[in-house]
Structure formats: C-alpha cells, structure tokens
Chains A and B, each alone.
Chain A
Amino acid sequence: MLSIKDLSVAVDTKQILKGLSLDVPAGEVHAIMGPNGAGKSTLGYALAGRPNYEIKGGTVEFNGEDLLDKDVHERAAAGLYLSFQYPLEIPGVPALTFLRTALNAQKKLRGEGEVSAPEFLKRVREVAKTLKIDMDMLKRPLNVGFSGGEKKRMEVLQMALLEPKFLILDETDSGLDIDALKVVSDGVNALRAPDRGMLVITHYQRLLDHIRPDRVHVLVAGRIVRSGGPELALELEAHGYDRYLGEAA
C-alpha cells in the first residue's frame, strides 16, 4: 500500500532523512519509534508534502502511484491523512464548514458527487457522539480555544469523516490524559480495516498499548535501524534508544 524506498529529505538545507525505506501493506498498523530529532515528524510531513521539505532522493509509492509527484491536496484526495501533533487553529472558519469543504474538495478531485448538507450532518452527528464531541463545538471556528484533548478528538473526527486509505498519526498521544487517550485510540481502532494502513509515530510505548501495532520500526538519525514485532516497543521502553544512537553514528 505504502512503499518508501531510500527516502532522503532535507529541511532548510539540513539533511534529516537519510535513505529511509519502509513498506506498510494494507490492513497493517506500523509504529515508528525513535528519539527526539530522529526525523519522525519529518517523515510524516514529507509524505504529506509540506513546503520546504525538500526530497533529495528516493521514491514513495502509494497504491501503485507516485506520491511525491502530487500536490498536498491531491495526496489527501488520494487517501493520505496526516494527523498533526499540534493541530492548527483556523480562526473564522467553523469546524463544520471546514470539514464539509475538505470532504467535498476531495470528492470533486476523485470525480465523486458532493455530499449533501443533511447527509453530511447526519454522518457528523453519529461520529461526534462516539467521540464525545458536542455539536456546539463544531459550530465554533476549528480548534480555536480548544483544549489539547479536544483538538485530538477533532483530528479523529476528521479521519472518520474523510475516510482516508492511509493514516499517519504524529504523536497523537501528546497532550492527552488517560481518558482522552482512550477515546482517541478507540476512535482510531474503529478505523482499522483490511483495506486501510496506518503509520503511528510515537516517542513512547504508552500509545501502543492502546493502538496495537503489527510491526515496530526504530528510526534513528534519519534511517530505520531495526524492525520487529510489537515486543520491540516494550524492549525500547525498557532499554531506551541509547544502543541505537551509537550504531547510527
């Protein structure tokens, strides 16, 4: 589903990813763990197409298509969803308006019909309820004045409505208390499906207790230095990243 080969990325002329290769088949959840500064968030941003993230080399194939060739919004319409570590506040744009604009823009690009307002509202109500999001909150400008937990729940709401084929969760657990973490991970788990892949980027093992990965990769200094099953996350939690830091250097 997502196939990254030898990806090198520079941000402001500084090389961050140095030949990263990774395959995530449909239906699987892979976790990327690594110390601060390893390039975890850079990977997410580069895949989403953030400006100033310069691709120096390598390829990324997404469902058989060249992902790097597409504009940011085209990648979204193709089914890629990056959940931000710090979701942005969009003053003046009610969450509902934002969501419907995004959904219809994606549908238009895919050549599908627009979703009608009543149909859209019905769907939003259902999802909002499971995420314990008040409809009044959705009438307010997106993320403006929302707490950290509310912002993350809004991210999950957007995933559920946009129904992407592939999710990248960037430090989704940051800023969440235990209860919020449960609501958010339940939301993400509900999206696990045989035709959907996920990449969970995290610093701590905690999130992986809730979103169980099929594979765990260790990212250090811009490269995957080790891959393994879920047990690798526990090992990292116990021993830290130190031994890999030596290897990478």
Chain B
Amino acid sequence: MTLPKTSQALDIFDPSSYPTRRDEEWKYSDLSRVLRDVPKKAMVVRTLSELEAEPDGFVYFSADEAGFEGLQAAADFAMRKAHGRLYIDGNDFGDEDGYLGYQGHGEISLAAGQSLVVFEDYTGAFDYAVHSRLRFTLGEGAKLTRVVILDEPETAVSVRQSTVETAPGSIFRQHVFATGAKFQRFETHVNHAGRDAVVEMNGAYLLKDKRHFDYTTRVTHGQVNGETAQLVKGLVKDNAAGVFQGRILVEKGADGTDARMRHQALILNDGAHIRAKPELEIYADDVQCAHGNTIGALDEEALFFCESRGIPEEVARAMLTHAFVLPVVDQIEDEVLRETVLNFLENASESFYAL
C-alpha cells in the first residue's frame, strides 16, 4: 500500500512538497505554517551498532536521526534471538538556532507465521524537524505489535508515517502514546487486505502548553471478515491542540467486516482544542461498523469526591487523568511494555499538572 499523493511527496528539505491547509488530510495540521524555513541538512555519521539482545529481552536498534537502515536485519535477528522483541530507539538532536532536518525510511517484513513486538521510543532535544516513513508487511498468520512512545521536546517538528499491509489471518496491533510537540503527526495507513485479519489502532495523548499532536489513521478493508478495533483517548489543556482523524473504508465485497472506532477526549480549559474527524465509509453490504466520538471535561464531581477524602486537587486531577487513559494501556499484551508505558504515562500525568 502506498501513502496518498501528498504524503508520498513530502520531503522536509523541499518546501514546495509541504502539504498545506488546502489538503483535506492536513487541514488541522499545517506543516507549511510551522516549517517556515527549510531545515538545515545535518551531517549524519552513522555507525551501525552491534545487534545485541538486551536484558529485557529486546534486540536494540538505534534509529537516531531517522536512520532506519538495517531495520529488517535487526527485526530478523530479534525474531531469531530475542523472543521476537525489537527496541527501536529514536533520538533526534537539533540545533539551538534554526531547525536541523532528518528524513529516513525503513521496512520490516514478517514472513508467514512470524511474530514480532516492536517498541518505538522517540525522543530528542532542541530544534529538529524529522520525517520518517516505515513500511510493515505481514505474511499469512503473522503477528506484529507496535508500541510507540512519542516523548519529544516542545520545539520539535515531527511527522512519522507508516504503511501496513496485512495478509490472511494476520494480526496487527498499534498502541501510540504521545505528549505532542510544536508539530507532531503520527500517521498510519493500513491496507486490510487479508481475509480474517485483525487490526487494532489504539492511542492516548496528553497535551499541554502549545503542543500539537495529530493521530491520523486510515484503514482500508478490502477482504472478507476483517476486524478493526480502535480506541483513542486524549486530554488537552492550556493552548494545546489535539487532532484525531480516523478513517475506516470498507470496500465493495469486504463482507463480514467488523469495525469499531472510539475516540474520547477531555478538554480541560477553554484555550485548548480538539479536532476529531471519525469517518466510516462503507461500500460492502454485510458489515458491522460503529464509531463513537465524545469530547467532554474532567468529572468535577469525582474530583470533589477525591478532594473531600484529603487528596489535593492537582494530585486528584493527575490521578483521574491517568485513570482516564488507562484502558488504552490495558490493551497492550506485552507485560514489560505495558509497565514501560504506564511509567511514561504516570510521569506524563504528573508533569501535566506540574506536580
């Protein structure tokens, strides 16, 4: 599956390729507005690190500065040696005056019956603009789980796109946790092309200050009996902006499709925004599809209840915030990663309220 035209063409070193608000898919995330100057091309000296199994049972792969060369070899190594767990450590370092730019792409293919858990941990420092493209291809009955943490600085501009191709009986699960950046977009296109394949597209975001996060997902059901489940939860405060664009397309003939999308967000004060665009487009006859989108505020009564038991307001808010996104974490099967994400979110909830 290929990305749509605008995304395909995106080259962060070529401003004429930047999508603008006129592109329907980028209406709420205007890259041309945040990247006014072309980022400087950084000198990247890459040394391919030795592939080693880590104590937690992960094979470690350094993807600093969007360098994904050798990703397939690392994945193959992980599937041979480390119970199929791969840790992609992405660290992007920028400049303090003007943006440094990085662009890269990588691919992982799973053969029939193979199973892989990928943990993508993206952090960075200073002013950088990064654009990465990953392509995942699943063989028959293969199982791929992606757990992604986007923990980037408030100055970062980051666009991370990926495409996924399923096969009959395969399972693809994606869990994304984000705190936003100056501009942060995580975009996944799934070609749900295998009969009886299962796809999960979950995520949670906690955005404060002027941070922006855009979770865009496109799932195209082209075969019979495909399943898609999506649970995305988010909180925004201050002047932060959250964007959720979830689209599920069920093509003609994709009968027996079962697709469920849920987006639940809380806006904690007036200056913050959520733009949600859940879309279901159905051309098949015999399908079960549902989508729900709710945007509300933190339960003030529950807050008062907690406080009346002696819990200070900010602690109570952090506790209820953490509890709100918890159901998304519970979907992660891998115990080590569930703990990792819990820790990340606990810290994020606390820093959210500056505890």
Contact = CB atoms under 8 A, between A and B. Distances in A.
Q: Is A bound to B?
A: yes
A92 B324 contact: yes
Interface in A69-93: 71-73, 75-77, 81-82, 84, 87-93
Interface in A158-195: 158, 162
Nearest to B301: A88
A72 B307 contact: yes
A98 B302 CA distance: 12
Interface stretch (A31-39, A101-109, A120-128, A209-217): A101-109
B337 interface: no
A76 B313 CA distance: 12
A102 B311 contact: yes
B304 interface: yes
A183 to B, nearest CB: 21
Contacts of B312: 71, 73, 105
A93 B306 CA distance: 11
A91 B323 contact: yes
Contacts of A87: 305
B315 A105 contact: yes
A76 B308 contact: yes
Contacts of A246: none
B307 A76 contact: yes
A71 B313 contact: yes
Contacts of B308: 48-50, 72-73, 75-76, 81-82, 84
A73 B304 contact: no
Contacts of A162: 309-310
B137 to A, nearest CB: 36
A111 interface: no
Contacts of B305: 84, 87-88, 90
A234 to B, nearest CB: 32
A51 B320 CA distance: 18
Nearest to B323: A92
Interface string B314-327: 01100110111011
Contacts of B319: 93, 98, 101
B326 A50 contact: no
B262 to A, nearest CB: 15
B310 A51 contact: no
A45 to B, nearest CB: 8
Contacts of A71: 307, 312-313
B300 interface: yes
Nearest to A97: B319
Interface in B244-289: none
B311 A73 contact: yes
A93 B310 contact: no
B304 to A, nearest CB: 6
Contacts of B302: 88-90
A98 B310 CA distance: 10
Interface SS of B by simple majority = helix
Contacts of A102: 306, 309-311
Contact of A73 (B301, B310, B322, B326): B310
Contacts of B323: 90-93, 141
A101 B327 contact: no
A102 B319 CA distance: 11
Interface string A40-61: 0000000011110000000000
Contact of B304 (A51, A103, A109): A51
A84 B304 CA distance: 11
Contacts of A91: 323-324
A106 B310 contact: yes
Contacts of A81: 308-309
Nearest to A52: B300
A149 to B, nearest CB: 18
Contact of A50 (B304, B311, B316): B304
B310 A109 contact: yes
B310 A76 contact: yes
A153 to B, nearest CB: 16
Interface centre among B300, B302, B311, B316 (most CB of A within 10 A): B311
B309 A76 contact: yes
B272 to A, nearest CB: 20
A75 B307 CA distance: 9
Contacts of A51: 300, 304
Contacts of A141: 323
A92 B204 CA distance: 15
A24 B322 CA distance: 40
Contact of A103 (B300, B306, B310, B315): B310
A77 B324 CA distance: 26
Contact of A101 (B301, B304, B315, B324): B315
B326 A92 contact: yes
Interface of A: 48-51, 71-73, 75-77, 81-82, 84, 87-93, 98, 101-103, 105-106, 109, 141, 158, 162
24 contacts: A49-B308, A50-B304, A50-B308, A51-B304, A71-B313, A73-B308, A73-B312, A76-B309, A81-B308, A88-B302, A90-B320, A93-B319, A93-B323, A98-B306, A98-B309, A98-B319, A101-B311, A101-B315, A102-B310, A105-B310, A105-B315, A109-B310, A158-B309, A162-B309
Given A71-B307, A73-B312, 17 more contacts: A48-B308, A50-B304, A51-B304, A72-B313, A73-B307, A73-B313, A77-B310, A84-B308, A88-B302, A90-B302, A91-B323, A93-B323, A98-B306, A101-B311, A102-B306, A102-B311, A103-B310
List 8 A-B pairs, minimum CB-CB distance, nearest first. Answer: A92-B323, A76-B310, A106-B310, A72-B307, A88-B305, A102-B309, A92-B326, A88-B302
